[in-house]
Structure 1
């Protein structure tokens, strides 16, 4: 009876504890990267939504003025505050600065900074990865990567969004959108999607999967 009682109350052996720790470690190694990717996809939703809204605004402006316009103050594009990404609509950007003091009062702007009022310490103008896609023949002039082609009517325009979605400063998530179809290969991280369809946000550089300086 005494032996049975003692057997029921014995503790775990060192080997048993090591096996449990090893199992937990394996599960963590599998779960953590998947969680980071899931979290990043959630953050990327902002860039996709804002670029799509910008495209819609440009199309409406084209219907009225027969041209596109890089200046967001002229076209009336104003995404909500709290943006994690910076947005570029010209290769020579004039930034609408967003921070703790509010939004800079400008009459002209061709880019938007990260909102450091929400993301304190974030880089205000993270660099985008330039697109390597080539534009199809026809359909008007090629956009300026980013910005509007020179001659309208027949011009096109494109834009970038760049932001940090994995809290590492070794690369920035880059999305691209244009009013003209483009084909080729993304810089990194877009899988088998070989075409940037006009009006559809295109992942040119995946911050989570790529992470090169």
Structure 2
């Protein structure tokens, strides 16, 4: 009997191996789409963080000078190289301006074209970015900033906005995949959610 046990060789049958492969395939089919969605959601944090930085810089400048400006260098905002989103604090930040790089004085900072796909044609800002009314009319002036980027390499662009209007909510445009179309002052709002659309 001991001799018979020693001679028997262990191993897996082809059916057992196929069952294991099928189970791994099912788990991967469930996990990979979730992983891609969570990865894209984490990329959105760049827009939220940088819009809050623009808001803080503008508020600090306003506290000192009693006006908002449309020049990123004046307020000291400069995102890290390799930015996925394009940022604007003027209404003239269109696709042509943004793909040409960082135009601080024009209130436009384009995304890093060497690392990321170009912003899709026709992508629109969720707010009309800019400063209004003229600085002479302050302290009743306000500003709005936008962030546009592609987080999942499809034809649509993830769009965000922030405003200084604290007294009333601002309506965002293009609300695919977004529960609310309004944002309050100082909070980044997602106008077009590229992750869920």
Q: Given the two structures, how large is their TM-score scaled by the length of structure 2? A: 0.77
Q: RMSD of the TM alignment (CA)?
A: 3.0
Identify if the C-alpha distance between structure 1 residues 107 and 158 changes in structure 2 by more than 3 Å, giving closer, same or farther: closer
Name the counterpart of 2:118. 123
Name stretches of at least 5 consecutive residues in structure 2 with no aligned partner. Answer: none
Distance 1:107 1:11 in 2: 65
Corresponding position: 1:61 with 2:61: yes
Q: CA deviation at 1:200?
A: 0.9
Q: Does the 8 Å contact 1:86/1:113 carry over to 2?
A: yes
Q: CA deviation at 1:76?
A: 2.9
Name the counterpart of 2:92. 92
Name the counterpart of 1:201. 188
Q: Given the two structures, how large is their TM-score scaled by the length of structure 1? A: 0.72
Task: Tell me which of 149, 155, 159 is aligned to 1:163.
Answer: 149
Question: Aligned pair count?
Answer: 187
Distance 2:182 2:172 in 1: 6
For residues 12-47 of structure 1, what are the alpha-carbon distances to aligned partners after superposition, in whole Å with 9 as ceiling and x for unaligned?
244x44432322222112111111122122221211
How does 1:18-57 map onto structure 2 within 5 Å?
A: 18-57=18-57
For residues 167-199 of structure 1, what are the alpha-carbon distances to aligned partners after superposition, in whole Å with 9 as ceiling and x for unaligned?
x23211111111123257861223x44541211
Task: Tell me which of 167, 170, 175 is aligned to 1:187.
Answer: 175
Return the structure number with greater helix share.
2
Distance 1:95 1:185 in 2: 20
Distance 1:127 1:73 in 2: 27
Name stretches of at least 5 consecutive residues in structure 1 with no aligned partner. Answer: 99-103, 132-143
Name the counterpart of 1:172. 157
- SS of 2:196's partner is coil
